[in-house]
Structure formats: structure tokens, C-alpha cells
Structure 1
Amino acid sequence: MPSLNSGVPALIFRLDRNPFHHGSLGAVRSLGRAGVEVHAFTESPRVPLARSAYLHRPHPMPEPAAGSRQEADRAAVEALDRAGARIGRRAVLIPMDDRAALLAARLPPPVRSRFLQPEVAPELPERLADKAQLVSVCSEFGVSHPATEQPGSLTEVRRAVGRLGLPLIAKWSRPWHLPADSGLRSTTAVHSEAEALNLWERTAEAGCPLLLQRLLPGRPGADWFFHGCFGTDGRLLAGGTGRKELSWPVGAGLTAAGSWQPHTQLTRDAVRLAQRLGYRGILDLDFRWDADTGAYHLLDANPRPGAQFRLFTDDGGTDVVRALHLDLTGRPVADPRPVPGRLFVTENYAPVAALLTARGGRASRAPLPPAGGRRQIEAAWFAPDDLAPFLAMAARTVRRAGRLLAALPGGTARRRGGVRPASTAAPTQGVAPRSGGRLPAPPASRAPGPPSAPRSSPPGPEHAAERRHGEPLPGRPAPQPGRRGAAPPADGDVGRPTARARGTAGSRTETHRRPAESLAAGPTAAAPTPAATSRAAAGTRPPGARSAGRADAAGAPSAVSPADGPPRPSPTPTRAAPAPSSAPRSNTPETTGTSRKVSGDY
């Protein structure tokens, strides 16, 4: 592996607020393992990237601006300037999304002087990232591209649908302009004229033109990509061509699994395009094979590393990110030694994509160029020397899956201390109800029996704040300190040991887990009857009374022995007092994994 200049730090520059962006993690690990001091923009100190042992210091992303795009860009440049000042030395700047790449190319001179970047024309990254301008680039340089139209009215939308046929692909020319809460996707499959008309009517909301493109049928083996790093002299320093084995979403998404497959034609076309454009730096291109013509059409061009760039790590350990650092610091880059057949797998997408692809019965593969070599696997998240990001990703994935399941009709899972209530609400839009289209009927009424203590319902979002601050939920006794179920710490105390009740021989200091995500809302707890209230005050139970904290298989509360006695009040849980908001943030180094990390200014 070539020796990188460890005296020159690097800053991973990303503005897309996506905690599952595995490409940024790959860049941090690639440079960190080579001894480079790596900084990165992160959403918070608790996202998977911020937990990497190879990240020297996380820097806060600028908050999404409520004003114009110009104000948002100004805030991003100011955040980049602050990060450069904190680093204190010129650092290699590596944009990881399109908006960051476009801003990096147009930085004002005072900010640009803090970083090392490839010298390219300021407008060139936008010519590639803007999907409307890419159409003209392909036409100018003779690169195959699907038939694309940019309608200017509803009438032109109808004509374009008639010419291109259905289904077709709708793309927003500048997806980084889409509002975060709009629900608009950068690329959408359109199956009717009405869908195309509805999308065009949202052009003002999207902030960029709508493109309609002929659909090239997807099939296994038809999707390809190129990654390359072009040096200051325009020479291809590192990279290669790969084939998408699985994508997420299936058929038109990111690479869930891909393999390194040398493809002479695609490499030649990509290098020729980059050299004719005068491009310098890292370039990511996406192609799709057209079964009708046999041509490989360029679908997207990204002026920055793709998320799966670590697939193209050669036999000497060089990838496009390391090659860029070597070139910008004046060090030579060895000739690439490809590893054909190498695999890249994204653990949080590949299993589901494989299942859905198999169920969909995809068509036969396109013709493939010959490939050989040994088989290596590069995981997007799992790394034996850096486990924390993988564990954080897995925990977030499980929580997100739980929220999705809870949103399904009747999907609130049965929890300890209660039984899932029967739902009478209409099913969620787009989700089929159970029982052949009918909602589950409410349980039959039970015969009246002896009154019992009220059961508490599953906690809903309205109780999330009470859980975070250690207050008991309605209808539940307060948890005892030092035992499971005690109040979690405040946000500032997450992950820190919290003092428990001392003075007993068995007391000890425990470490809190992070507070759980808000659970699906449930019905409020039933109010106790007057008779039950009087018995509770007297500390007695009627014969045959049942406990509120357990449920048997039939859904009824389980019996409690009279020997249990009256319930005992629980003491109020104790926790460490949070630091005052005016206290200065800590920037002292802390040992994390194999590197020495400095906490970010959040």
C-alpha cells in the first residue's frame, strides 16, 4: 500500500442528512487506516459515522435553513469555514454528495484556501450532476443516453407521454433542491398520464424542472457503474467498472450488492468523456444496458465518490479516495492492480433486496464480459477493527423496522404489562387490511366478574417525554432505582455511568442505554372504579383478583396469590443532575477504539 502523508488531514464534506450513508464511513475508514487524521460532517454525535474508531473529530452539519436556497448555501459555506478553522491546517476536502460537490467547486477564495481540492472549472460539476444538462453533455460528446424530454406545460406532458410510452421515468433535474418534507423522490416510475401530470404540477414546489425519460427495462446484469480518480494531469489513477447484482429499491436504486467486473468498452467511454471535459478528481457514472440496441446508456453522472467506491480497492490497498489524497499531497500513485470478482455488500439493504428480487422472478442476465480472479467481500458496515458503526446501524435499522410494523393495522406488538388492543380505525393508506380486507373484530364482552386493578396501556408518543425525564407512565408504579425499568438519563447523560442509590451492599453503578424511540400510540388506561380505589387504599384485594402486570395466553390477567400482600410504594428514581445549558462543551480527547478521537462541537 502506498504511504499517505499523515501530516495532511482530510475532511469528509456531506450535506445530505442521511445517517445510513455508508460511503462516508468507507472514506473515513480508508484514510484512517492509512494513518490520516480524518474529520467529517455528521448529523449528531450518535449517528453510526460519528462512532467510528477512525474518525478523529465529527463536525456538526448546518441545520436545514427555513429560508431560500441561497441562505442554505451560505450557512453551509460558513459551517465549512468553521470546520477548516478548527482543523487548523490545510486539509484534503472530499465531497460525498452532489450539493456538497457543487458548493466545493464555487467556494470563495478565503474558504477555499483552507483546503486542497482538484482544479476544475466551477461550472463543470453542475453540468454533470444536473440531469437536464447531462442530456446536452451526452449529445455533445456522442454518449448514449435514453430519450429524455423536458415538458413546459401540461400539453407538452401529454405529448411526451405519448412519444415515450408507458411506463416511463420521471426525474427532477436537480434533486438536491427538493424540500426534505415534500415526499418527492429524485426518480419515480410513472405508469399513467395522470401521474406525470400530477408531478409536473409540483414543479414550483420542487424548485427544478421535471424530466420525462424513456424507460430502459431493468434486468439482472444490465446495470453497471464506473468509479475513477483522475489526477492533476488528467490520467486515470485508480478505479474500475462494476456490475449491480442487487439494488435498493429493487430495479432502480443504490447498489445493495455489486461486483468488480472489468469492462473495456465502459472504461474507454468513461475515460474519454472525463478527458474531453477536462475533469479532475473522483467521478461516478451509472450505465444501463439496452437489450434492444446493445448500447450502454449513461443514466447519471456524479462529481464525487459513489457510496460503493470501496469495491474498487486494488491489490495494493489503493482506492479512489486514497488516490485523491496521494495526488493532492504530491505523492506518486502506483499503477492499479485490479481484483476482478471482488464483491461489495450493503448489509442493511442486500438481504431484503435479494428476497424481493427472487420473488419478482427477474429476467435472464445480459451478456457479461469474462471475469476471473479470487473472490473478496467488502462489507459496507461490518469491520472487525471498527464494530461500533455496524452495531449503531443495526440498532437504528431495528428501531426503524419496529416503527414501520407498528404503523401497520393492528401492528402494535404485544408488550409486557398489557395486551394489544383491537383496532377499529381504518387501515393505513397503501397497506392491505388483514382478514381478507376486513378489520379484526373487537373481542367479545366477558361476563362480569370481580373488579380488578386497572391495566396500563402501551405507552404512546404522548408519554415519550415522561419516559425521557424519568417520570412514571400513567397507571404504572414508579420504577425502583438501580433496577431494570428505572428512568433513562437525560440526552446529555446518554452512555455515561449514572449513580444509583448507594448505602446497600448490593448497590452498584450501571450504564444507561439510550432512550427507546416513541412507540405506537395506544388507548389511555381505564379509570379505576370507586370500589377498587377504596380497596387499594386499604391495601386489600378481593378473592380471585388479578394482577395488572401479567397476561395469560387467552389475553386475561393472570391470578395473583393472596400471599402477595398489598402493593408497596416505589421510591422515586434518582439520577445525575444534567449539566447547565451554559456549561462549555468538552473538546478533550477521548480514546475510542484504536484511534484518539476529539469530540465535536455539538
Structure 2
Amino acid sequence: MTPEPLLDRGVPVLLAKIGRYPQHHGGLGVVRTIGRAGVPVHAIVEDRFTPVAFSRHVTRRFVWPTTGLEEPRLLADALLSIGRAIGSRCIAVPTDDEAAILLAEHSDRLAECFLLPPTPAGLPRLLASKASMHRLCEENGVPTPRTWAPANRDELVDAGRELGFPLVLKNRDAWSRLRTPAVGATTAVHDERSLLARFSAGPLPPVLMQEYIPREQAEDWITHLYCGAGGTPRVVFTGLKLRSWPPHAGVTTRAVAMNNPCLAKLAGELCSRIGYSGPADLDWRFDRRDGRYKLVDFNPRTGAQFRLFENVHGIDVVRAMHLDLTGREVPAGPQTDGRVFVAGQLDLPSAASWLRNEHRLPPDLFSRPEQQTERAWLCRDDPLPAAAEAIRYTGTVARFIRHTLHDRFVARRQAYRS
């Protein structure tokens, strides 16, 4: 194996994020992969108890709670202040769509403090929007599920009848999911009555309706890549998603790295055609009914499970980004197949749901002892974030149980009174 390339330790990294999601393991992955290479890592955190703030690899923490409701210009001003406080030009690594859009659309101003991929300024917004992503795919010959972005309730009904039930509802745009969310998460609806009940009052929020591909006829695949100037792929990785939470729609909780040349080519060619530069996380569904991979989501930033993937030189998406933006060669080589990613405690309810619904154990594709397991939280050389996350997760579960019991009590009391 070729020795691991040395990253430029004189160019630090800033973990950039917009919105409140303190229990995010993808940001911790960024901190660890860069910190282990000896590069200073600065992190934006929601509060001083955010789990990533406890990582031994974090050089400096910037407590900057945001909601996504702020004016983008003011957010860019705050990022500039953070960049100036760091004191040297650094690489900003976004972990959410809003941060990626902000960095791209304000790149001229932010270039004072940050090294950024030379992607067209408006492209991340187009890709993060499910409606415009669908149009870009149609223009470039990339299959996607049938999609409809209704403007009013009449179109909502028409779309439901055109797509058929069940169908999938998603928030249409990056910023609107924080400001005027249509759904809390990707949601399946099974009939027209349920669809109309969700949007019974007020203006129709920005919602996207998508064809449902039956689980028994599909496989969920992921592609993580980094593209340099002009959309040239530097690294492209593919893997199979085994479980997620919520089931079949949420964050990946268990996945395995599997080389898929067809999918890698499809993703790389799309980025080349549209000129996308930067890290990206693409979700696909292989539809056995017509034998095609269909692009479901294009996230123009690092994905939460990016540490699943490395090539034989130890290069992941974030390291490739650092090498490229500092003018260094990104070593080419095949991906390391068989690596497994596990998202800690989120995989437990996912596995339980699988057993309850499928009445069998999940397929075991990763039992061989030589396979490497990348855990989202647990790590021998950096244990404190996992401890902080365990405490925070316990609080989250306790609040969920309390609210559930309260809602049931209220419902029973109302039923008794009626």
C-alpha cells in the first residue's frame, strides 16, 4: 500500500453548519479524518455540550447557534468573522445543504477567509431543491422517480392521481425545510384522504411529491464523491444502504462499501456535465421493475456516512477535498470494499423495525472478520464524543416517551369526555 499522503498542515479546516442538529455524526467524521492527519480543525457548534465539541481533534470551538431563519447576508457576515478569528485562510467543509448553498452563493466575499470549490454559484441550490434536481436529471439523461411539485391544492390532487398511491412527500427546497416545512421528514402517504388531511389549512407549503418505488422491488444505493474544477471527479465511491432510521427514508444507520462501476460512472458523468465541484452525497434507488438506478437526492455537501468510504490510499471525500484545494495530487485508486458503517444507537430501532416488519433477520453482508467497521461515535482514540452523545440521546428518548405518554393521556381523556 502506498504511504498515506501528507495533507498541508498549514491550511486548517472549518466544520461549517446552519441549523440546529447537535447529534450529527457526519460532522464528527470530518473532525476526526482531518484531525488525524495533523491538520488543525475548527468547529461550529450549537452549544458547548454538542458532542463534536468534546473531540480531541478539535482545535477551537465556535459556539454559533443558528436556525436557518436568519438572512443569508448576516450568516455570511458571521462566517467571515469566524474566518478572521481563525487567522489564516482555511477550507470550509459544509455538513448541510444550507451551509453549502451559503458558501457557494457568497463565495466572492467569503474567499477572503476560505478556500472553496469553484462550483457555479447557483448550482448547489438547484441540486438541493428536489424539483430543480429532477429537471437537471431529465436534461442530462439521468433516471429519477416520477416527480411533481404542486403549486396549489388542485395540483396536489392531480399529482396524487397521476403518480398513484402510495407516494412520497418531501420538503422541496433546502431553506424552506427549516422555515416552512411541509413534512418533518420523508413521508409516505397511502391514499388521497391522507394526502389532503396533511394540507387542510393555510397556504400549501413547498412540497415535493415523488413516485413510490416498492421496497420489495428496490435496493438503496449511495454515492459519495468529490469533484475538482469543471466537475472532474477526483474520488467516487459507491455503497449499499442496508438500514436507515426512520426505516427506508431517514439517515443511514448501516451500510457497506461495494464497488458499483455502473453507478460510479452515472454519478461522475452527471457532475461532469453540470460542472459541479465539491463534495457530494447522492442517494439512489435501483428499481428492479425496469433495471435502472434512479437518483432520489443530490446533497451538495459531505454526507453523514462519508467515512464508510476510502480508497486504497486512505483517501476519503474530505481528505480529497483538502488535497485538491491546496493544490496537491489526489492519489487515484480503487475503493476499499467491504467496509461497514454503523450509526450507533440509531441502528437499534432500525433493526427492531426490520425484525417487526420483515419477520426475519437483516441480510448479513459484513460478518467476515477481515472487514473494517467504521462506527459513527465509538472510537478508542477519541471516546468523549460518544459519551456526550449517549447522555444527549438518553435525554432525547426520555422527552419522546414523555410527550408520547402525554399525548395518549390527553386523547383518552378527550375520548372519555365525549
Given the alignment of the two structures, is residue 3 of structure 1 paired with residue 2 of structure 2, yes or no?
A: no
Aligned counterpart, 2:192: 193
Shift of 1:391: 0.2
Give TM-score, length-normalised by structure 2: 0.91
Instruction: Note the alpha carbon deviations across 1:386-428, whole angstroms, 9 max, x for none.
Output: 0000000011111222223334449xxxxxxxxxxxxxx9625
SS at match of 2:76: helix
Distance in 2, Cα, partners of 1:201 & 1:75: 35
Give yes or no for contact 2:355–2:362 (8 Å, CA) kept in 1: no
Aligned counterpart, 1:122: 121
Give yes or no for contact 2:351–2:362 (8 Å, CA) kept in 1: no
Instruction: Note the alpha carbon deviations across 1:229-273, whole angstroms, 9 max, x for none.
Output: 112364322231011111110111110000001111111100110
Structure showing the higher strand proportion among its residues: 2
Shift of 1:91: 0.2
Give yes or no for contact 1:284–1:304 (8 Å, CA) kept in 2: yes
Pick the aligned partner of 1:248 from 215, 234, 245.
245
Distance in 2, Cα, partners of 1:172 & 1:149: 12
Given the alignment of the two structures, is residue 427 of structure 1 paired with residue 389 of structure 2, yes or no?
A: no
Aligned counterpart, 1:309: 306
Aligned counterpart, 2:84: 85
Distance in 2, Cα, partners of 1:363 & 1:296: 27
Distance in 1, Cα, partners of 2:93 & 2:178: 24
Q: Give the unaligned 5+ runs of structure 1.
A: 411-424, 439-602
Distance in 2, Cα, partners of 1:19 & 1:151: 33
Shift of 1:220: 9.1
Instruction: Note the alpha carbon deviations across 1:314-358, whole angstroms, 9 max, x for none.
Output: 332210100100111111111224211110000021111011111
Shift of 1:221: 6.8
Q: 1:222-241 to 2 correspondence within 5 Å? A: 222-232=219-229, 234-241=231-238
Shift of 1:160: 1.7
SS at match of 1:348: helix
Question: Cα distance 1:220–1:14, how it changes in 2: closer, same or farther (>3 A)?
Answer: farther
| Letter aligned with residue 195 of structure 1 | S
Give yes or no for contact 1:232–1:327 (8 Å, CA) kept in 2: no
Aligned counterpart, 1:588: none
Aligned counterpart, 2:67: 64
Given the alignment of the two structures, is residue 19 of structure 1 paired with residue 22 of structure 2, yes or no?
A: yes
Question: Cα distance 1:83–1:405, how it changes in 2: closer, same or farther (>3 A)?
Answer: same
Give yes or no for contact 1:221–1:244 (8 Å, CA) kept in 2: no
Distance in 2, Cα, partners of 1:223 & 1:426: 35
Pick the aligned partner of 2:274 from 277, 283, 287.
277
| Letter aligned with residue 328 of structure 1 | L
Aligned counterpart, 2:378: 382
Pick the aligned partner of 1:404 from 397, 400, 414.
400
Q: Give the unaligned 5+ runs of structure 2.
A: none
Give yes or no for contact 1:203–1:210 (8 Å, CA) kept in 2: no
Distance in 2, Cα, partners of 1:146 & 1:27: 31
Given the alignment of the two structures, is residue 326 of structure 1 paired with residue 323 of structure 2, yes or no?
A: yes
Shift of 1:112: 2.2
Shift of 1:293: 1.1
| Letter aligned with residue 61 of structure 1 | W
Give yes or no for contact 1:226–1:241 (8 Å, CA) kept in 2: yes
Question: Cα distance 1:249–1:426, how it changes in 2: closer, same or farther (>3 A)?
Answer: closer
Question: Cα distance 1:271–1:177, how it changes in 2: closer, same or farther (>3 A)?
Answer: same
SS at match of 1:314: coil
Distance in 1, Cα, partners of 2:172 & 2:201: 13
Give yes or no for contact 2:19–2:67 (8 Å, CA) kept in 1: no
Q: Which deviates the most, 383-392 or 160-169?
A: 160-169
Pick the aligned partner of 1:350 from 338, 347, 350.
347
Shift of 1:198: 4.0
Pick the aligned partner of 2:390 from 389, 394, 403.
394
Give yes or no for contact 2:240–2:257 (8 Å, CA) kept in 1: yes
Distance in 2, Cα, partners of 1:183 & 1:148: 16
| Letter aligned with residue 377 of structure 2 | W
Distance in 2, Cα, partners of 1:307 & 1:233: 25
Distance in 1, Cα, partners of 2:342 & 2:248: 16
Distance in 1, Cα, partners of 2:67 & 2:401: 29
Give yes or no for contact 2:20–2:46 (8 Å, CA) kept in 1: yes
| Letter aligned with residue 30 of structure 1 | T
Shift of 1:84: 0.4
Pick the structure with greater CA Rg. 1
Q: 1:171-210 to 2 correspondence within 5 Å? A: 171-179=170-178, 184-200=183-199, 204=203, 206=205, 209-210=206-207
Give TM-score, length-normalised by structure 1: 0.64
Shift of 1:193: 1.4
Distance in 1, Cα, partners of 2:337 & 2:283: 19
Shift of 1:116: 0.3
Structure showing the higher helix proportion among its residues: 2
Shift of 1:24: 0.4
Larger RCO (CA within 8 A; separation ≥ 6) = 2
SS at match of 1:56: strand
Given the alignment of the two structures, is residue 33 of structure 1 paired with residue 36 of structure 2, yes or no?
A: yes
Distance in 2, Cα, partners of 1:102 & 1:136: 18
Instruction: Note the alpha carbon deviations across 1:79-127, whole angstroms, 9 max, x for none.
Output: 1011001001100111110000001001163332211011011111111
Question: Cα distance 1:87–1:219, how it changes in 2: closer, same or farther (>3 A)?
Answer: farther
